[in-house]
Structure 1
Amino acid sequence: MRYSRSALTAMAVAALTIGGTTALASPASAAPNTTPQKVCGSSYKTVNSAAVGSRGTVYLTYNATNGKNCVVTIRSNPGATMDMSAWIYVPDTDQGAQDYGRYTSYAGPTYVYGKGHCVDWGGNIDNVYVQVTGSNCASLKEHRVTTTR
């Protein structure tokens, strides 16, 4: 599925504004010690991460065999369902993936082919949102924004 950058941005803003687009999503079930590799797959290696305040972490992983990135947002303390998201976007190819809903432990996994491309990615837990743009671009510096709403 192809997304235009403006369409993906609009979807992300809309989802973040209303607290998730999937009101009836099933809660993710996972043990408290969930890892990105348990969610994305054992061949995915963590290449970047961003704290979601003190609530958890958004992980960017990469599989060198298939050239895909995976993003997952994992809570530090699983419990009652709350709004969560994980998303990734490759500006060069206009490809993206997202998962927004109410989960107990993690959001994602979201996969996209990213070999040789910069990626934008992020997620949220409750009212804390993280967005990383221009990530994993060799010597270029990424840009990180964390907001609380």
Structure 2
Amino acid sequence: MGSVRNLATVGALTTLVVGTTALLGTAASAAPNVTPQGVCGNAYKTVNSVPVGSLGTVYLTYNATNGKNCVATIRTNPGTAKDMSTYIYVPDTDEWAGDSGNYTSYAGPAYVYGKGHCVSWGGNIANVYVSVDNSNCASLKENRVTEIR
């Protein structure tokens, strides 16, 4: 009888852990077919992007009305939660924003005021990290880096 009770307890705990993980893992993630505008908002237009290997893409978007940039890292194939991040930095103002965690489809959004400024941005999915420095400004040539750790 003890074995049956232990199996029932293990089964109940497994269901609780899996259910909690699914709930927490999807809190900041959405269903498949996520778009940068779905993450950042309809007023944000994609102005740049960088692939995260074959795992997904980091998108840089801009809202001309409020002068803000937004970044989001979106997976190509949503599924089991993976370590993901997205970030954006404005060197001129030293303002930055980011998001990281274990997500099933996307990390973000992260917003900064960027009108008239160069921005640096990037993110990761699992062990593939990308960064773009000196982006979206006429005066400097952007520098893209992809790294597998």
TM-score range, shorter chain: 0.7 to 0.9
The residue that corresponds to 2:91 in the other structure is 91
Equivalents in 2 of 1:40, 1:85: separation in Å?
15
Task: Assess if the C-alpha contact under 8 Å between 2:69 and 2:113 holds in 1.
Answer: yes
- TM alignment of 1:1-149, pairs within 5 A: 27-149=27-149
Unpaired segments ≥5 residues, structure 2: 1-23
Deviation at 1:77, TM superposition (A): 0.1
Where does structure 1 differ by over 6 angstroms across 4 or more consecutive aligned residues?
none
Which of the pair has the greater relative contact order for Cα pairs under 8 Å at 6+ separation?
1
Tell me how far 1:140 sits from its aligned partner. Answer: 2.4
% identical equivalent positions: 75
Shift of 1:139: 4.7
Task: Judge conservation of contact 2:78–2:104 (CA < 8 Å) in 1.
Answer: yes
Max radius of gyration: which structure? 2
The structural deviation recorded for 1:31 is 1.9
Q: Which amino acid is the alignment partner of residue 101 of structure 1?
A: G
Q: 1:29: how far off?
A: 2.9
Q: Contact 1:86–1:100 (CA<8 Å) still a contact in 2? A: yes
Q: Tell me the TM-score normalised to structure 1 length.
A: 0.81
Give SS of 2:89's match: strand
CA contact (8 A) 2:26 2:104 kept: no
Quote the residue 1:6 is aligned against.
none
The residue type paired with residue 92 of structure 1 is D
Q: C-alpha distance in 2, partners of 1:103/1:27?
A: 8
- Name the structure where helix makes up a greater proportion of residues: 2
Amino acid at match of 1:85: S
